[in-house]
Chains A and B, each alone.
Chain A
Amino acid sequence: MDDSGDFTGPARAHAAILLLSVLVVATCGLIYELLAGTLASYLLGDSVTQFSTVIGSYLFAMGVGSFLSRYVRRDEIGVFIRVEIMIAAIGGWSAAGLFLAFPLAADFRVLLYAIVLVIGALVGLEIPLLIRILRSRFAFRDLVSNVLTYDYVGALIASLAFPLVLVPQLGMIRTGLVFGLANVAVAVALLFVLRGTRRVAGDMTVALMVACSLIAGLFMAERIQRFSEIAYYGEGVIHARSTPYQRIVLTRRGEDLRLYLNGNLQFSSRDEYRYHEALVWPVLGRVANPARVLILGGGDGLAAREVLRDGRVRSIHLVDLDPEMTRMFRETPQLAALNRGSLLNPRLSVENADAFRWVRAARGTYDAILIDFPDPTEYSLGKLYTVSFYAQVARLLAPDGVMVVQSTSPLVAPRSFWTVAQTLEAAGLQTRGYHTYVPSFGEWGFTLAARTPPTGPAHLPAGLRYLNAVSEPLMFDFPPDMARRPTPVNRLDNQALVRSFAEEWSHYEG
């Protein structure tokens, strides 16, 4: 058997290409290892364990590959080319595949280590095969020196480029795809050189198909990223769904259940009681007889859960835009457990409608109105914070009724927070701001509004986890960094709030 029979062309070019291949395959091999380790610690947490086990498995699999190389008895260069094509396909798509599979796979770890072992084994085949292919070109002493030199140089390039350039510039999905292209480029280059000496058409076709898929992947990387919520949430996604109105994502890490709407955190089950007690009780505690309650927004049923604790409440009308949201929180057992089945309570009626339109058509009055909309991140939502909207809501408020408005963070966005009060006042109401600390949100603010100043103590029920007669009044105190400041009135035709909100939050988030 004479493998050097493959080298009938210009031998120097072959040797150069093969040595360059060593550099490329060494770089690629380490990149896949780093990608798997980073992804594992990113997705599963506990980076020391993940890196250690991924690297260990990968090196072990390389050993397996080296061992298996002995069973390659003929056509080493042909096998090497096919190994390159396989690594390109599997390694190149590994990051994208793991991202996409994460929310779907029953046991993500099995998939992760399967991919690590396969790539490791294939990479383990590369160097032994290359040494055997090159053995007739160099003296053994030079051969070992050359191959290992390029191998370690490649490792250095990979380990520096990965954290400094690749992840920040390309992201993990594109990094995988780009190095997949490098592997397939080695295969294509060798096939091109060998085209006169053997049949290459079949392998060339497969290699080019793999290359095309990787290039297509580069263009689709954004979309893949979007599909893989985990890249964004970094937590266990247990439910993700797009409705006509929003993207609803539920995550769970340990006991912490979180809801995101369009990427914005709505609650964490660990501390939502702080938010919802603060939203509900300062209002209900100041209404003599809150028989009729209106909730605008709040499709998660958590505010309703609080309201239902009050035996004086005879009916709650909940108006939320998205039928899917109220359906999820009514029918999914772990979500219904969180709101204690509030959305199934006979005292509560749900109406799925756009509150902006609903308030203009609504009739009747309510003793307490709770407004719990998402923050005014865009112009459409900003309409729900305007003087025109509040004037319509005020029409629905009983003469001695009290309402509350979720009003973003007075610490991060004090101008936005006080704009809500200013706007409620322009609609003819008296206001009182207050705030509390919700760990998953930070310092959060609310605004009470009524026809007469909503002062005086609140009558709180027993058994609240957060509010009592001591802590409730403290919420109304604003230190100087959150103190009231002059603000414009938010109107439909100026959307002052959306603008100040965007400015203050971007400033805060840098």
Chain B
Amino acid sequence: MRAEVRRRDLLAGALACGMLSGCGRAQAAPFPGALLGPDLARGHAIRDGKLPGPTGPEERIPLVIAGGGIAGLAAGWRLAEAGFTDFALFELEDVAGGNARAGANSVTAYPWGAHYLPIPNREARALIHMLRGFGMITGTDAQGAPAYDPFQLCADLEERLLWRGKWQEGLVPTTGLSPQDAAQWRRFDAAMEVFRKAVGRDGRPAFASPSALSSRDETYAELDRISFAAWLAQEGYTAAALLAHLRYSTRDDYGSEPGAISAWAGIHYFAGRRGWAADGAGESELTWPEGNARLARLMAGRIGARLRPRHSVTHVARDGDDVLVDVFDHQAGAARRIRAGAVVLAMPDFVARHVAPAFAGASRFSYAPWVVANVAVSRMPWGPGAGLAWDNVSSTSASLGYVVANHQTSSAGDGPGVLTWYQALSDADPVAARKGLLERGLGEWQREIAADLLAMNPELDGRIERIDVWRWGHAMVRPTVGFRSDPARLAAQAMNGPVFRAHSDLSGLSLFEEAHYHGVLAAERALAHLGRGGESLL
């Protein structure tokens, strides 16, 4: 099926919409497609306590992982790596992976969320170990730096920016800046370079990835106490193009405006990456058509049948030295109780506070809502200036642009493909934005997405075949001011059993490296708690 929806139809639709207020929900969708998202029914059933309680005898499983996002999968991977097999991983959704899930059509796979992993820093030891095991690191150079499989690194051209009517390479505008603005930009870059190289008095990098390994030095801790926007103003950064670029960056990584996050998090985006790789590939990214679902699938492969999808963990409570875990099996429609020696609680705090109130919810984390769309096109976009890149961003669009899902695998300049379109709903308060997100229908989203794409690439007119839209109500935890020193968060990290929390929420940064670190750490601590400790990979 092919929908020949043209620009004028969209404009006509938009005009009609303007005249008939609130017509969005009633109007038919202009393209084939589906409205997707996390399983709200299963999620809300936990929140509202609507699932039936356990029946039958208790089952004994020494170690339970509750939640199959990246943190839970990393915990499972770590257990498998240690040769430990007496565990089960319960995941509410049909497919594990959390934000790193994917779809596919006849042309290519495509991500529904996280789509790349920057080349890890030297300190991300467990992650590097895992990538080597997955064949993504193929060797080592004379200095010991990992050599990455070039087919899994992002191919050139990585990024392009639509700036003043023309596409240019990179995301930083290179033309039309006043000398003052260009000087500010250079000053910002130099400041970030200093932070990137900075080491605290405790010998740790000022900004590490995983962030838990960052210096605790007061000089840098101070940056957690003001917002990024306030810090920028205080440092005299006023150039509009620079501030727009920084806003793009914080929305892209944290789903938040510069005023809503701490200066520490804002700077971490620029100063936290010191990718360690042979062949000068340190600034590259690992990426795949299906995005980080590739990593999720490989980790799940190591966990094997111990991974149990369609299972909601409904209650986690301590019972003496043991933990009782109630699990509802959506396929069987029945719940049972598991007695575990240790539990890795690998769920986001907004779920954990309902499931395990004794172990979570002490501090109210806030989450940014996102929309991700996969747009099937019959021919690739192009445009004036630099050719199609992996990541394509417009300086005039409110969206975060689009990533070409088949960038890695295709050598056809034209041809069909899938564009993954990203939007962080950061301009409203997250609660209100989440409400708006759920109220809008498929047609309304499709019109907005198509209009945004056509503004960037008018040649896509008539070439959009399908738009699937995924709504993430709680896409990312927000690194708000003070998150590094939040006592509740520190307490969650410091737990010493038998329940160990593992989630990127604990870092406040919704990044693969963070989730992986907390998953591995929790798994190692749980193993030690069960008397099965060994050498740490961290």
Chain A residues engaging chain B, CB cutoff 8 angstroms: 244-246, 262, 321, 354-357, 360, 377-384, 386-388, 491-495, 498
Residue of A nearest to B414 (CB): A245
Alpha-carbon gap, A383 to B154, bound state (A): 12
Query: Which of B187-195, B334-342, B405-413 is near enough to bind chain A?
Result: B405-413
Sample 14 A-B pairs with CB under 8 A, ordered by A number.
A244-B414, A321-B412, A357-B410, A377-B413, A378-B388, A379-B155, A380-B387, A380-B388, A380-B410, A383-B411, A386-B150, A491-B279, A494-B156, A495-B157
Residue of A nearest to B156 (CB): A495
CB-defined contacts of B284 to chain A, threshold 8 Å: 493
Alpha-carbon gap, A498 to B379, bound state (A): 21
CB-defined contacts of B415 to chain A, threshold 8 Å: 244-245, 321, 354
Residue of B nearest to A386 (CB): B150
Interface residue? B508 (CB, 8 A): no
Decide: A379 near B389, CB < 8 A? Known: A245-B414, A356-B411, A360-B151. yes
Alpha-carbon gap, A379 to B380, bound state (A): 13
CB-defined contacts of A382 to chain B, threshold 8 Å: 156
Interface residue? B281 (CB, 8 A): yes
Alpha-carbon gap, A382 to B413, bound state (A): 10
Within 131-159 of B, Cβ neighbours of A (below 8 Å) are at: 150-151, 153-157
A245 x B412 contact (CB < 8 A): yes
Question: Which of A321, A384, A387, A492 touches B156 (beta carbons < 8 Å)?
Answer: A492
CB-defined contacts of B378 to chain A, threshold 8 Å: 244
**What total of A-B pairs shows CB separation below 8 Å?**
75
B157 x A381 contact (CB < 8 A): no
Residue of B nearest to A502 (CB): B387
User: Could you tell me the distance in whole angstroms from the C-beta of B36 to the nearest C-beta in chain A?
Assistant: 26
Alpha-carbon gap, A381 to B155, bound state (A): 12
A493 x B156 contact (CB < 8 A): yes
A379 x B388 contact (CB < 8 A): yes
Interface residue? B416 (CB, 8 A): yes
Alpha-carbon gap, A245 to B414, bound state (A): 5
A493 x B150 contact (CB < 8 A): yes
User: Could you tell me the distance in whole angstroms from the C-beta of B45 to the nearest C-beta in chain A?
Assistant: 43
Which among A245, A379, A383 has the highest number of chain B CB atoms within 10 Å? A379
Chain B residues engaging chain A, CB cutoff 8 angstroms: 150-151, 153-157, 279, 281, 284, 378-380, 387-389, 409-416
Question: Which of B153, B155, B387 touches A383 (beta carbons < 8 Å)?
Answer: B155
CB-defined contacts of B409 to chain A, threshold 8 Å: 354, 356-357
B412 x A492 contact (CB < 8 A): no
User: Could you tell me the distance in whole angstroms from the C-beta of A282 to the nearest C-beta in chain B?
Assistant: 25
B412 x A379 contact (CB < 8 A): no
Question: Which of B153, B154, B411, B414 touches A355 (beta carbons < 8 Å)?
Answer: B411
Alpha-carbon gap, A357 to B108, bound state (A): 12
A246 x B414 contact (CB < 8 A): yes
Decide: A354 near B411, CB < 8 A? Known: A378-B387, A380-B388, A492-B156. yes
Which among B379, B389, B415 has the highest number of chain A CB atoms within 10 Å? B415
Residue of A nearest to B151 (CB): A388
CB-defined contacts of A492 to chain B, threshold 8 Å: 150-151, 153, 155-156
CB-defined contacts of B150 to chain A, threshold 8 Å: 386-388, 491-493
Question: Which of A354, A493, A498 touches B412 (beta carbons < 8 Å)?
Answer: A354
User: Could you tell me the distance in whole angstroms from the C-beta of B288 to the nearest C-beta in chain A?
Assistant: 13
CB-defined contacts of A377 to chain B, threshold 8 Å: 413
Question: Which of B154, B157, B389, B411 touches A384 (beta carbons < 8 Å)?
Answer: B411
CB-defined contacts of A388 to chain B, threshold 8 Å: 150-151
CB-defined contacts of A262 to chain B, threshold 8 Å: 413-414
CB-defined contacts of A378 to chain B, threshold 8 Å: 387-388, 413
Residue of A nearest to B153 (CB): A493
CB-defined contacts of A493 to chain B, threshold 8 Å: 150, 153-156, 281, 284
Alpha-carbon gap, A387 to B412, bound state (A): 18
User: Could you tell me the distance in whole angstroms from the C-beta of B145 to the nearest C-beta in chain A?
Assistant: 15
Residue of B nearest to A382 (CB): B156
CB-defined contacts of A380 to chain B, threshold 8 Å: 380, 387-388, 410-413
CB-defined contacts of A494 to chain B, threshold 8 Å: 156
Alpha-carbon gap, A388 to B151, bound state (A): 7
CB-defined contacts of A386 to chain B, threshold 8 Å: 150
CB-defined contacts of B412 to chain A, threshold 8 Å: 245, 321, 354, 380
Residue of A nearest to B279 (CB): A491
A379 x B387 contact (CB < 8 A): yes
Residue of A nearest to B378 (CB): A244
A379 x B414 contact (CB < 8 A): no
Decide: A381 near B281, CB < 8 A? Known: A492-B155, A493-B150, A495-B156. no
Residue of A nearest to B415 (CB): A245
Residue of B nearest to A391 (CB): B150
Question: Which of B154, B379, B388 touches A244 (beta carbons < 8 Å)?
Answer: B379
